[in-house]
C-alpha cells in the first residue's frame, strides 16, 4: 500500500510518502517546512499559520513529487499513490482546513481513497516508522498491546491505554496546561523565545536540577490527570522575586534544570503507575515533548525499574515534533482496517479526542 500524507494542524507544513509491502516499509520520504514567522510573536498566530500553509504546502508537495516520481508532476505522483492520508484534527481549524482541502482535491482528482487521521494517533504511529523501536511489529503488532501511551505535545498531555490502532481509552489528561505549554511558558518568562521546550532543555543540560524545589502538582494523587498551571504560576513568582539574578548564567541554568525536572518527575511517576495498573506490555511516548532527553532517560529508567516486563518505545527524535511521516503511518493502519472517509463531506475536527469511548483490552 502506498500512502501520501499531509499534515498542517499547527505551524508545520508537511508531506510524506510511505509504501508498506508485506508488513515492511519498502519506500519512505518526508518533508517538513516549519513556519519561522511565529517566533517573533512568541507563539503561533492562527491566521498567519493558515496563510503560510496556503503558500508553503504546494511547494512541499512539489518537493515530495520530485523525490518520489523524479519530477514536480501531480499526475505522475497520483499514479504512485493508493491512499491519501490527512490530519483532520485536533489542531487549529484554519490550519487544518488548508491541508484537508488540498488532500480532498488530490483524492478526488486522482480517484483515490482518502483517510482522515487523528494528529495524536499520528504522534503515536511515529514509533512504527523506519528505524523506530516498534518497526519490526508493523506486520501484526505482536507483543505490543495493550500499550500505555504518554502523549506530551504543545496542546496535549494525556495517558491512553491502546489496544491497537483505532482502539484507545483515555485514562487521564491535563486539567489545564499541557506539558509542552509548561515548557513554553517557562521559556517565555526567561526570554528564551518560542518554541521554548528545546531552549529550556539546552539551558538545563548543565544546570543543577535540585537547585529550586518547584511544585510537582498531582504527582502522588491516585488518578491519572495532570495539572501544570500551578507550576507555571510558581515559576512566574519565583522569577519575579529573583529577577536581579536573571542575567546570571548559573542561575538561569539551575532554574531551567529545576523546571524541567519538576515536569519530568510528574510525567514519569504517573506513566509508570498507569503502566503497572494496566499491565501494559509496552510503554510508548509520543508528541513534541518526547524529544526531551531528560524525559526519555528518566522514563526508560523508571520503566526498567518499576514495570520491568514492559518494553519502552520512544520514537526517533526526527519524528517527535510535528511531521507527515507519522500521519502516513497512522493513515496506513486506518486503511489496512478499511477505515476510509468520503472526500465530499470531510470537515476539520479541531477538538477530535482519542479514547473517550469504551474499550475492552
What would the x/- binding string for ligand KG4 be over residues 117 to 156, using CB under 6 A?
------------------------------------xxx-
For the bound state, the minimum distance from the C-beta of residue 320 to Zn ion, rounded and expressed in Å, comes to 9
**181 and 193 Cβ atoms separated by less than 8 Å:** no
Region of 141-149, 180-188, 268-276, 333-341 interacting with ligand KG4 (CB under 6 A) = 180-188
Region of 75-83, 135-143, 189-197, 218-226 interacting with ligand KG4 (CB under 6 A) = 189-197
Phi, psi values for residue 17, rounded to 5°: -130, 135
Partner interacting with residue 197 (select from Zn ion, ligand KG4, none; CB below 5-8 Å by kind) = ligand KG4
From the list 295, 301, 335, the residue with the least C-alpha distance to 315 is 295
Q: Which of 57, 291, 307, 335 binds ligand KG4 (CB under 6 A)?
A: 291
* Binding residues for ligand KG4 restricted to 240-259, rule: CB under 6 A: none
The Cα 3–Cα 103 span in angstroms is: 12
For the bound state, the minimum distance from the C-beta of residue 295 to Zn ion, rounded and expressed in Å, comes to 16
Region of 78-86, 153-161, 196-204, 252-260 interacting with Zn ion (CB under 5 A) = 153-161
- Pairing mode of beta strands 167-173, 113-118: unpaired
The Cα 334–Cα 167 span in angstroms is: 11
Q: Tell me: does residue 184 bind ligand KG4 (CB under 6 A).
A: yes
Q: Using the minimum distance from each CB to Zn ion, give the nearer residue, 161 or 326.
A: 326
- In the β-sheet with 24-34, what is the strand arrangement from edge to edge? 24-34, 12-21, 2-7, 83-89, 113-118
Partner interacting with residue 146 (select from Zn ion, ligand KG4, none; CB below 5-8 Å by kind) = none
What would the x/- binding string for Zn ion be over residues 96 to 135, using CB under 5 A?
----------------------------------------
| DSSP SS3 for 198 | helix
Q: Which of 20, 283, 289, 310 binds ligand KG4 (CB under 6 A)?
A: 289
* Binding residues for ligand KG4 restricted to 316-355, rule: CB under 6 A: 321-322
Please tell me the chain's helix, strand, coil percentages from 3-state DSSP, rounded to the nearest 5: 45, 20, 35
Phi, psi values for residue 233, rounded to 5°: -65, -40
Find cell 484554519 and name the residue. 94
Q: What is the widest separation between alpha-carbon atoms in the chain?
A: 63
| DSSP SS3 for 166 | coil
Sign of the four-CA dihedral 177, 352, 281, 314:
negative
Find cell 498531555 and name the residue. 157
Q: Tell me: does residue 153 bind Zn ion (CB under 5 A).
A: yes
How many other CB atoms sit within 10 Å of the CB of residue 39? 14
Q: Which of 322, 329, 332, 333 binds Zn ion (CB under 5 A)?
A: 322
For the bound state, the minimum distance from the C-beta of residue 123 to Zn ion, rounded and expressed in Å, comes to 6
Q: Which of 78, 89, 196, 348 binds ligand KG4 (CB under 6 A)?
A: 196
- Count CA within 13 A, CB hemisphere, residue 329: 32
* Binding residues for Zn ion restricted to 195-234, rule: CB under 5 A: none
Q: Tell me: does residue 63 bind ligand KG4 (CB under 6 A).
A: no
Q: Using the minimum distance from each CB to Zn ion, give the nearer residue, 19 or 322.
A: 322
Binding site for ligand KG4 (CB under 6 A): 10, 153-155, 180, 183-184, 195-198, 201, 287-289, 291-292, 321-322
Amino acid at each position: 500500500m502506498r500512502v501520501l500524507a499531509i499534515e498542517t494542524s499547527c505551524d508545520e507544513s508537511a508531506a510524506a510518502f510511505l509504501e508498506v509491502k508485506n508488513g515492511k516499509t519498502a519506500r519512505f520520504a518526508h518533508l517538513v517546512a516549519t513556519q519561522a514567522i511565529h517566533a517573533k510573536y512568541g507563539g503561533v498566530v492562527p491566521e498567519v499559520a493558515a496563510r503560510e500553509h496556503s503558500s508553503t504546502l504546494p511547494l512541499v508537495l512539489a518537493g515530495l513529487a520530485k523525490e518520489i516520481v523524479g519530477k514536480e508532476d501531480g499526475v505522475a505522483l497520483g499514479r504512485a499513490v493508493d491512499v491519501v492520508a490527512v490530519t483532520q484534527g485536533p489542531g487549529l481549524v484554519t490550519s487544518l482546513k488548508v491541508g484537508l482541502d488540498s488532500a480532498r482535491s488530490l483524492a478526488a482528482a486522482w480517484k483515490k481513497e482518502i483517510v482522515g487521521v487523528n494528529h495524536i494517533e499520528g504522534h503515536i504511529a511515529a514509533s512504527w516508522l523506519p528505524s523506530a523501536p516498534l518497526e519490526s511489529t508493523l506486520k501484526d503488532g505482536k507483543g505490543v498491546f495493550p500499550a500505555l501511551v504518554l502523549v506530551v505535545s504543545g496542546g496535549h498531555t494525556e495517558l491512553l491505554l491502546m489496544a491497537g490502532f483505532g482502539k484507545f481509552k483515555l485514562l487521564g489528561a491535563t486539567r489545564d496546561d499541557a506539558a509542552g505549554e509548561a515548557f513554553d511558558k517557562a521559556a517565555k518568562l526567561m526570554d528564551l523565545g518560542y518554541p521554548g521546550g528545546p531552549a529550556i532543555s539546552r539551558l538545563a543540560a548543565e544546570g543543577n536540577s535540585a537547585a529550586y524545589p518547584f511544585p510537582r502538582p498531582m504527582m502522588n494523587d491516585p488518578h491519572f490527570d495532570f495539572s501544570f498551571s500551578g507550576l507555571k504560576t510558581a515559576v512566574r513568582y519565583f522569577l519575579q522575586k529573583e529577577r536581579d539574578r536573571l542575567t546570571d548564567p548559573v542561575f538561569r541554568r539551575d532554574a531551567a534544570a529545576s523546571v524541567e525536572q519538576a515536569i519530568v518527575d510528574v510525567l514519569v511517576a504517573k506513566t509508570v503507575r498507569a503502566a503497572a495498573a494496566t499491565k501494559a506490555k509496552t510503554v510508548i511516548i509520543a508528541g513534541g515533548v518526547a524529544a526531551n532527553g531528560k524525559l526519555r532517560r528518566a522514563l526508560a529508567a523508571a520503566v526498567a525499574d518499576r514495570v520491568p516486563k514492559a518494553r519502552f518505545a520512544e520514537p526517533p527524535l526526527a519524528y517527535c515534533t510535528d511531521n507527515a511521516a507519522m500521519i502516513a503511518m497512522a493513515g496506513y493502519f486506518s486503511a489496512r482496517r478499511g477505515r476510509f472517509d468520503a472526500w465530499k463531506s470531510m470537515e476539520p475536527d479541531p477538538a477530535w479526542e482519542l479514547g473517550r469511548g469504551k474499550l475492552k483490552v
